[in-house]
Homo-oligomer: A and B are copies of this chain.
Amino acid sequence: MNYIDGGVCAAKGFTAAGVHAGVKAGSAPEKNDLMLLYSETPCTTCGMFTKNAVKAAPVLLTRELLKDGRAQAVVANSGNANACCDESMENARRMGEAAAAALGIAAKDVAVASTGVIGQRINVEAIEGALPRLASLLSADGSGAAAQAIMTTDTVKKEQAVTLTVDGKTVHIGGISKGSGMIHPNMGTMLCFLTTDCAISRGMAEAALRRAVNASFNRISVDGDTSTNDTCILLANGMAGNAEITGEGEDYGRFVEALTALCVDLARRMARDGEGAQHLITCTVSGAADEAAAETLAKSVIASSLTKAAIFGCDANWGRVLCAMGYSGVPFDPDTVDVVFASAAGEIAVCKGGRGLDFDEEKAKTVLSEEEVVIRIALRTGTASCTCWGCDLTYDYVRINGDYRT
């Protein structure tokens, strides 16, 4: 498996484009806010969606549309969540129909997604007006423009692609995603569109997607909030020409591994670009009784406001790490916990057997001043481990969210 360029258009037969449609009144004309993703041929398609009880109309619509396991395009906007308005469902449909008309395909083959403010009417007319132009811009170089179109408070585009061999054929998997605030397992305010030219059955695609999402997007947290619009869609058009993956085995194993690596890469970018973040925080818990316990403990640490604020301050306040583990709900013996802070600048052991170690505060500051900080926690209960990702809590998080809507 190798990382390659091309993002969501790296796989054969996929094109994408992004434009500024003016979804949000007064938005900057250089910021794309509408994207289209298209496959030459219909795709085996599956998706995972928010578990929030309040679901935006595009989530309800797309979940329904994907029941037949098939799609050929995705249309998505930023600037408005298209949620909690009387016309939300009608407008989600209009958005899909306009895309279908521009592409000359059936509306039932167009997945729809939105992200942005909840409870304000979406400017669907602007979207309808922009779609013919958007469709005409579709190209194999369009990944970046599409990735930019789904950004909200994101400061960088997220795109990535990998190549691997399946059944002797070269297969590509690519993706774009967005997500910066309201990020939390299970998925946050995130959209992710994944494409592959691998031939794979619906059932195996779904299994692979579930496994990849659980090991990536469901292991990041920015602020403990989960949203109404979370959507992750995988489109597989089979154009690589491999014998279709229809069951477990070596080919499926390689496909899952590559898809998971791709999703972890995108998830880490999302955590790194968490609203206001200055640090990516990676927390690994090892020596746990099972993976679920390790995951719950690691998630509790990366989601702790106090730990996040301490990392912002480059403060090796490991007591907050222990404390966050303690209220996670996972039983463990505090007297068998070791904690190490590590980064590109070195590492520093701060707690052994639940007791504080004397350590050099200056060195600790240096270690914690790096962009990526690793919190390594070792228990002595078992052999399972898990890694989760988050970011620090900064003044800018408060600034961004104190006045986002208006």
* A382 contacts chain B at the CB level, 8 A cutoff: no
What is the CA–CA distance of A213 and B75 in the complex, to the nearest angstrom?
A: 51
Cβ contacts under 8 Å, A405 to chain B = 310, 315-317, 319
Given the complex of chains A and B, what is the CA–CA distance between A103 and B355 in angstroms? 33
Q: Which of A110-151 contact B (CB under 8 A)?
A: 117-120
Tell which of B313, B319, B332 touches A84, judged by Cβ atoms closer than 8 Å. Answer: B319
- B320 A225 Cβ-Cβ under 8 A: yes
A258 interfacial contact with B, CB 8 Å: no
Residues of B within 8 A of A326 (CB): 52-55, 226, 228
CB distance A52 to B402 under 8 Å?
Answer: no
Q: Which residue of B lies closest to A400 (CB)?
A: B309
Q: Does A224 belong to the interface (CB within 8 Å)?
A: yes
Question: Shortest CB–CB separation between residue A181 and chain B, in angstroms?
Answer: 7
Dominant SS among interface residues on chain A: loop
Q: Is A83 on the interface with B (CB-CB < 8 A)?
A: yes
- Cβ-based interface call for A253 (8 A): no
A319-B84, A323-B118 known; A393 vs B404 contact (CB < 8 Å):
no
Q: Which residues of B contact A406 (CB under 8 A)?
A: 315, 361
B355 in contact with A325 (CB, 8 Å): no
Chain A 307-330, CB-CB to B under 8 Å as 1, else 0, gives 001101101111110111111101
Partner of A225, one of B52, B306, B356: B306
Q: By the criterion CB–CB under 8 Å, are A54 and B325 in contact?
A: yes
Given A323-B228, A331-B53, A393-B398, A356 and B313 contact (CB-CB distance below 8 Å): no
Residues of B near A120 (CB, < 8 A) are: 356
Task: Using known A-B contacts A356-B84, A405-B317, A406-B361, determine if residue A52 contacts B323 with beta carbons closer than 8 Å.
Answer: yes
A86 interface contact, C-beta 8 A: yes
- Given A324-B225, A354-B84, A356-B84, the answer on whether A315 and B403 have CB atoms closer than 8 Å is yes
Interchain CB contact under 8 A, A84 and B322: yes
Contact A313/B225 with A53-B332, A119-B319, A356-B84 known, Cβ cut-off 8 Å: no
Instruction: State A206–B63 Cα separation when bound (angstroms).
Output: 51
A327 CB contacts on chain B under 8 angstroms: 51-53, 184, 225-226
A interface size (C-beta, 8 A): 66
Point out the residue from B305, B315, B323, B394 that lies within 8 Å of A404, measured CB to CB: B315
A160 adjacent to chain B (CB < 8 Å) = no
Q: Name the residue of chain B whose CB is nearest to the CB of A316.
A: B405
A223 within 8 A of B: yes
Copies of this chain assembled into the complex: 2
- Whether, in the assembled complex, A401 has its beta carbon less than 8 Å from a beta carbon of chain B, the answer is yes
* Contact A306 B401, beta carbon cutoff 8 Å: yes
| Neighbouring B residues of A400 by C-beta, 8 Å | 309
Residue of B nearest to A52 (CB): B326
Residues of chain B within 8 A of A398, CB atoms compared: 309, 312, 393-395, 397-398
> Given A84-B351, A306-B182, A312-B398, is A54 in contact with B226 using a C-beta cutoff of 8 Å?
no
A81 close to B (CB within 8 Å) = yes
* In contact, A227 and B309 (Cβ under 8 angstroms): no
Q: Mark A47-59, 1 if CB is under 8 A from B, else 0.
A: 0000111110000
Answer whether residue A44 sits at the interface, using C-beta atoms and an 8 A cutoff.
no
A85 interface residue (CB < 8 Å to B): yes
Contact in complex: A401, B81 (CB < 8 Å) = no
Q: Which 10 A-B pairs have the closest CB atoms?
A: A118-B319, A313-B402, A309-B401, A54-B326, A119-B356, A52-B326, A53-B326, A223-B305, A313-B403, A119-B319
19 contacts between A and B (CB under 8 A): A52-B323, A53-B330, A53-B334, A54-B325, A54-B354, A55-B334, A84-B319, A84-B351, A85-B355, A118-B319, A119-B318, A119-B319, A224-B304, A225-B327, A309-B401, A312-B402, A313-B403, A316-B405, A395-B399
Given A225-B324, A397-B398, 4 extra CB contacts under 8 A: A309-B397, A316-B405, A393-B398, A395-B398
